[in-house]
Amino acid sequence: TLTDRLSRLVKTMRGQARITEDNVQDMLREVRMALLEADVALPVVRDFVARVKEKALGAEVVGSLSPGQALVGIVHKELAATMGEGIADINLAAQPPAIILMAGLQGAGKTTTTAKLAKHLIEKRKKKVLTVSADVYRPAAIEQLKTVTAQAGAEWFPSAPDQKPHDIALAAVDHARRHFFDVLLVDTAGRLAIDEALMAEIRDLHATLKPVETLFVVDAMQGQDAINTAKAFKEALPLTGIVLTKLDGDSRGGAALSVRQITGAPIKFAGVSEKIDGLEVFDAERHAGRVLGMGDIVALVEEVQKGVDVEAAQKLAEKLKSGDGFDLNDFLAQISQMKKMGGLSGLMDKLPTQMTAKAGAADMDKAERDMKRMEGILNAMTAKERRQPSLLMDGKSKASRKRRIAAGAGVQIQEVNRLLNQFDQMQGMMKKMKGGGLMKMMKKLGG
Ligand code: GDP
Ligand code: MG
């Protein structure tokens, strides 16, 4: 599995101070596999790995990092740099109406994204937005745009299956101009596969509309195929941006890297749900963590300068993974480690979007307060009690021990019991899972 691969990677070459021609090959093989598993297209992986190798060779390995960890840091940085250079918002610098043309295969999410974008432009940019569908092949497609446009609070310009896309486009621009719309979003037809007639049609639409943005909408679940789709659209149209949809799915989003590399266009937005508000400004840094699938290791690498003991964290992670001998000392170590890394919310920031979306800010505050209290309770225990939690759970003197701890931490006895319960559950869970423990445990701590 990927996790195995990565922990292997991190462990490789421990104790060597530099990344060298000798030790880099094995590590790069793991990186290559990780990227392929994230569905980055093969030629893109090759290019990328070559670039990473160049950057990595001779790079100084700082602090307590192993060369493997240092390499992960370099890979992460390069991934983020490849996928974006800062935040790229929609360009509206045109004589109104600013026209945005949506391109992509059928099912990629063009119609949905058109409405999401309309909502974004209304709310974030205070624009007056008109949508129109040039998808005359499926009558339902026009109705679909009408429905979602209403949800977005934008206006919809009617079109019909018996019209030519070219004529629809001209009529919509004329209407937008006369009614002082700031933006006109033009939704188009797509085929299941690349189709010459349809490419010619969208080229003609582009020539007619002269859009300020031509957005290529692509399904993140498309994986390896994304590269061919991207090639075809890049050849047909001067793309100005990419929208990567369905990032809420299982995909690790490697398509982002492929599509970005092939088209050279910036990834502007990410679709993260079917709902009208499921659109996010693309964050390359965060997405790099997802593609790499090792948010926690990347965070560790970044935190080295802040004095986090990477070795200890790793030992702990391994212990958690095996579920063996996990005791209250580990529980305490886990909490103080989290504190050093900026607390729960600091840590959550480093994890992929979907995970953090669930935990609201208020929950987070509460979780952090709980964490502090737990730390207090754990500190009020003796080292022996922490090493041997059974003393508190079924030992003869457990009642008096717990009374002492509660008094020491300034909490009620029930709170000590709750902590022990939580610990007990976690220990059981960890034994069952054998792996992925760190993430699940953090979720648990987060409520
Ligand atoms: P089009 O053929 O390119 O216009 O694609 P549609 O906009 O009709 O979308 C195709 C399907 O994908 C629909 O069921 C959408 O609800 C769904 N969809 C679009 N974007 C997203 C997304 O970001 N996340 C999820 N989960 N579904 C999406
Ligand atoms: Mg559509």
| 332, 438: one domain | yes
Residues in Cβ contact with 37 at an 8 Å cutoff, skipping those fewer than 6 apart: 2, 5, 252, 293
The annotation status of 110 as a binding-site residue, yes or no, is yes
Closest Cα to residue 186, out of 199, 167, 169, 203?
Answer: 169
Beta-sheet strand order (sheet of 267-271) = 155-157, 129-133, 183-187, 98-103, 213-219, 241-245, 267-271, 279-281
Dihedral in degrees, nearest 10, Cα atoms 109, 111, 115, 118 = 100
In a domain, 328, yes or no: yes
| Ligand nearest to the CA of residue 134, numbered in listed order | 2
CATH number of the domain to which 418 belongs:
1.10.260.30
Residue pointed to by tokens 């047909």: 236
| Ligand nearest to the CA of residue 269, numbered in listed order | 1
The annotation status of 105 as a binding-site residue, yes or no, is yes
Q: What is the pTM of this model?
A: 0.68
What's the 154 CA to ligand 1 centre distance in angstroms?
19
| 233, 351: one domain | no
* Measured distance CA(115)–CA(183) in Å, rounded: 12
What token pair was written down for 407? 């008094």
What token pair was written down for 81? 């740099």
Residues in Cβ contact with 13 at an 8 Å cutoff, skipping those fewer than 6 apart: 23, 26, 27, 66, 67, 68
Pairing of strands 155-157, 129-133: parallel
What's the 187 CA to ligand 2 centre distance in angstroms?
7
Q: Are the C-beta atoms of 222 and 208 separated by less than 8 Å? A: no
| 223, 156: one domain | yes
| 154, 271: one domain | yes
What token pair was written down for 171? 């009529």
Closest Cα to residue 155, out of 169, 163, 140, 145?
Answer: 145
| 173, 198: one domain | yes
In a domain, 352, yes or no: yes
Which residue owns the Cα nearest ligand 1 atom 10?
A: 107
Helix or strand run (H / E) with residue 225:
none
| Ligand nearest to the CA of residue 107, numbered in listed order | 1
DSSP 352: -
Give the C-alpha distances (Å, rounded to integers) separating 117 from 172, 270, 431.
18, 11, 45
In this prediction, residue 390 carries a pLDDT of 87
Ligand 1 pocket (Cβ < 6 Å) reads: 104, 106-112, 190, 245-246, 248, 271-274, 278
Closest Cα to residue 185, out of 163, 165, 159, 156?
Answer: 156
| 61, 196: one domain | no
Q: Please state the domain count of the chain.
A: 3
Instruction: Give the number of the atom of ligand 1 that is nearest the alpha carbon of residue 278.
Output: 23
What's the 236 CA to ligand 2 centre distance in angstroms?
19
The annotation status of 410 as a binding-site residue, yes or no, is no
Pairing of strands 183-187, 267-271: unpaired
In a domain, 20, yes or no: yes
In a domain, 368, yes or no: yes
| 173, 219: one domain | yes
In a domain, 38, yes or no: yes
Q: How big, in percent rounded to 5, are the helix, strand and coil portions of the chain?
A: 60, 10, 30
Q: Which residues surround ligand 2, an ion (CB under 5 A)?
A: 110-111, 141
The residue out of 264, 282, 300 marking a domain boundary is: 282
Which residue owns the Cα nearest ligand 1 atom 19?
A: 109
Helix or strand run (H / E) with residue 243:
strand 241-245
Asked whether the bond before 97 is cis by omega within 30 degrees of 0, the reply is: yes
In this prediction, residue 17 carries a pLDDT of 59
In a domain, 293, yes or no: no
The annotation status of 346 as a binding-site residue, yes or no, is no
In a mutational test of the pocket of ligand 1, which residue from 101, 110, 112 has the highest number of ligand atoms less than 8 Å from its CB?
112
| 256, 187: one domain | yes
Closest Cα to residue 118, out of 88, 148, 89?
Answer: 148
What's the 72 CA to ligand 1 centre distance in angstroms?
33
In a domain, 236, yes or no: yes
CATH number of the domain to which 42 belongs:
1.20.120.140
* Measured distance CA(159)–CA(185) in Å, rounded: 13
In a mutational test of the pocket of ligand 1, which residue from 101, 145, 272, 274 has the highest number of ligand atoms less than 8 Å from its CB?
274
| 63, 201: one domain | no
In a domain, 225, yes or no: yes
The annotation status of 248 as a binding-site residue, yes or no, is yes
The annotation status of 278 as a binding-site residue, yes or no, is no
The annotation status of 380 as a binding-site residue, yes or no, is no
Amino acid identity at 285: E
Question: For 126, left (φ over 0), alpha (ψ -120 to 50), or beta?
Answer: left
Instruction: Give the number of the atom of ligand 1 that is nearest the alpha carbon of residue 144.
Output: 8
Query: Which residue range is the domain that position 337 belongs to?
Result: 308-445
* Measured distance CA(241)–CA(234) in Å, rounded: 11
Helix or strand run (H / E) with residue 298:
helix 295-303
The tens place of each residue's pLDDT in the chain, 447 residues long, gives 444 555 555 555 445 556 777 778 877 887 888 888 888 888 899 999 999 998 888 776 666 666 777 787 888 888 888 888 766 789 999 999 999 999 999 999 999 999 999 999 999 999 999 999 999 998 899 999 999 999 999 999 999 999 999 999 999 999 999 999 999 999 999 887 778 999 999 999 999 999 999 999 999 988 788 888 999 999 999 999 999 999 988 777 888 889 999 999 999 999 999 999 999 999 888 888 788 776 555 665 665 545 545 556 566 666 655 556 678 877 787 777 666 655 555 544 444 333 344 445 566 667 777 778 888 899 899 888 988 888 998 888 899 999 999 998 889 999 999 888 888 877 776 666 554 444 444 444 443
The annotation status of 358 as a binding-site residue, yes or no, is no
Instruction: Give the number of the atom of ligand 1 that is nearest the alpha carbon of residue 104.
Output: 3
| 277, 350: one domain | no
| 102, 234: one domain | yes
What's the 442 CA to ligand 2 centre distance in angstroms?
39
| Ligand nearest to the CA of residue 192, numbered in listed order | 1
Give the C-alpha distances (Å, rounded to integers) separating 206 from 169, 181, 209, 211.
10, 19, 5, 7
* Measured distance CA(59)–CA(27) in Å, rounded: 14
What's the 310 CA to ligand 1 centre distance in angstroms?
42
DSSP 137: S
What's the 290 CA to ligand 2 centre distance in angstroms?
28
* Measured distance CA(319)–CA(321) in Å, rounded: 5
Instruction: Give the number of the atom of ligand 1 that is nearest the alpha carbon of residue 249.
Output: 26
Asked whether the bond before 67 is cis by omega within 30 degrees of 0, the reply is: no
What token pair was written down for 402? 């717990």
What's the 272 CA to ligand 2 centre distance in angstroms?
17
| 417, 313: one domain | yes
